[in-house]
Amino acid sequence: MRMARTILAVSAGALAPALLLAIPSFAATTPPTATVISVASDTGSPYDEMDADDLRMAILRILTGPDSGKRVTRQADRLLSSGTVEEMRAWLETGYRLARAEDDSVAIARLLADPDSGKAVVREANRVLDDGSPETLRAFLETGLRLARAEDDSVAIARMLADPGISDALRAAANAALDDGTPEALRHFLEVGRYEVGG
């Protein structure tokens, strides 16, 4: 046991100077230099470097997209026919977002005016119109509407199942749609499936 301790002490004594010289001294009189990491911040937009033709192409892509409502179409047409480079760039950076928000508000208002809109659709449409931010309006039309309709469709199917005169085949198809639970399955059952089964 003594032999092992002696060997350990001698080894530590021999290694100590090598380790101390290899490790930078923390007691040095000069303060450590701070390493400055510069993060490149991209404050510009992708449209800053585009020339007039590239800007027109970007506007044309928006114009031919499926989400172009009347406001977007009207503004894009005007810019394509007589807009300056600065006007096109400003519209792509901020104007498009606002024009699309106006079109989205109109689309949501139409949903509210539709007598076939269910309670969940009306509730969520009112909520996003009250919020009014372009991102909330767009998110509702892209995903929220689908989910609100699914909630309304589930209620409509549950009402069908509550009818004591429903046929066994229709009951089975309705239960299958509810078990699937996807918005697409619920909508398909209400629009197509229940008529294929009958009763």
- Report yes or no on whether pTM surpasses 0.95: no
Domain ranges of the chain: 46-113, 122-199
Ramachandran category for residue 107: left, alpha or beta (phi over 0 → left; psi -120 to 50 → alpha): alpha
What angle do helix axes 145-162 and 119-131 make, rounded to 10 degrees?
160
Spell out the residues 6+ positions from residue 89 whose beta carbon is closer than 8 angstroms to its own.
Answer: 45, 47, 48, 50, 55
- 36-45, 103-112, 131-140: least confidently modelled range: 36-45
Q: What is the pLDDT of residues 108-143, one digit of tens each?
A: 999 999 999 999 999 999 999 999 999 999 999 999
Q: What is the pLDDT of residues 152-194, one digit of tens each?
A: 999 999 999 999 999 999 999 999 999 999 999 999 999 999 8
- Token pair for 16: 């100590």
Q: What is the pLDDT of residues 71-97, one digit of tens each?
A: 999 999 999 998 899 999 999 998 999
